Amino acid sequence: MNEEKKISWVKQNYVALTTIWIKECTRFLRIWVQTLVPPAITMSLYFVIFGSLIGNRIGQMGGFSYMEFIVPGLIMMSVITSSYSNVSSSFFSAKFQRNIEELLVSPVPTSVIILGYVGGGVARAILIGIMVTMVSLFFVDVQIYSLGIIALTVLLTSTLFATAGLINAVFAKTFDDISVVPTFVLTPLTYLGGVFYSLSLLPEFWQIVSKANPVVYMVNGFRYGFLGVSDVNITLALGLLVGFNVLLFSIAYYLLKTGKGIRS
């Protein structure tokens, strides 16, 4: 009997998880012109301006053409912004419309709720990452050094920022609040995360300072998967990604479990 209850519990949670995930995917796919197309267009402009025009003047970076060097960083940039914005806007909308309260009082475990929302953000990030990669093929021949590292880095990074977006949405009180972190935190960290340059070009002091930026490890981990080169230790980069994911998931779990920022 206990075994039957356990199987029933697993099935119920699986149904709940897939339901939330499908709802989140349907949400951004329904308005794909707004959610999927703009990042691809924006990255195309980066490829044209920084890759084709400026890249020809710069020459090589880290032993590769400048275009080859920045492609992994630009893909990662789109993954970071899309995973974060998807969950932050979706969860805050549910919170603003008081729909999230119905989900929180249901018998669905808190971890399943988090995974459902985060899964939607990851799905959107992966789709956009694939689209940006396809766009990059018009500008450069993309090479792959380790497909496993690419997949693992994308999964961990999109999960991390999707969870961070959920935490932002919990604390946000207005729609303007969910744009504060992307504008004043994510954008500076991304542009200073080694997307457009190698850390080896910086003075030693600024190399040390740059390594305090977590985005550096994500970009370099992803670049390692494509080119086989990295400014940081790849094992350390993956370890930090796992650690940050555990930390942010624990914070999100605590916030939802206790109703912080949701219950009045």
What's the CA gap between 122 and 240, in Å, rounded?
Answer: 19
Per-residue pLDDT tens digits for 198-244: 898 889 899 999 999 999 999 999 999 999 999 999 999 999 999 99
The pLDDT score that the predictor gives to residue 60 is: 78
Task: Give the pLDDT band of residue 99 (cuts 50, 70, 90).
Answer: confident
pLDDT of 4 > 80? The answer is no
Model confidence, pTM = 0.91
Tally of CB atoms within 10 A around 169? 26
- pLDDT tops 80 at residue 81: yes
pLDDT digits (tens, 9 = 90+) for 30-71: 989 888 898 888 888 888 887 777 777 777 787 888 888 999
pLDDT at 6 over 80: no
81 close to 39: Cβ distance less than 8 angstroms: yes
Residues 34 and 36: their CA atoms lie apart, in Å, by 6
For the record, the structure tokens of 97 come out as: 């419309």
Q: What is the pLDDT of residue 238?
A: 95
Reduce the secondary structure of the chain to three states and give it as a string. Answer: CHHHHHHHHHHHHHHHHHHHHHHHHHHHHHCHHHHCHHHHHHHHHHHHHHHHHHHHHHCEECCEEHHHHHHHHHHHHHHHHHHHHHHHHHHHHHHHCCCHHHHHCCCCCHHHHHHHHHHHHHHHHHHHHHHHHHHHCCCCCCCCCCHHHHHHHHHHHHHHHHHHHHHHHHHCCCHHHHHHHHHHHHHHHHHCCCCCCCHHHCCHHHHHHHCCCHHHHHHHHHHHHHHCCCCCCHHHHHHHHHHHHHHHHHHHHHHHHHCCCCCC
Portion of the chain with pLDDT greater than 90, in percent = 51
Query: For residue 263, what pLDDT is reported?
Result: 63
Average pLDDT over residues 140-146: 87
* pLDDT of the residue at 23: 93
Q: What is the pLDDT of residue 264?
A: 53
Q: Give pLDDT, residue 183.
A: 84
Q: What is the pLDDT of residue 179?
A: 84
The answer to whether residues 256 and 113 touch, using CB atoms and an 8 Å cutoff, is yes
Between CA 150 and CA 18 the distance in angstroms is: 25
Please say if the pLDDT value at position 104 is more than 60: yes
Q: Give how far the C-alpha of residue 230 lies from the chain's centroid of Cα atoms, to the nearest Å.
A: 20
Mean pLDDT of the chain: 89
Q: How far apart are the first and last CA of the chain?
A: 40
Residue 3 has pLDDT above 90, yes or no: no
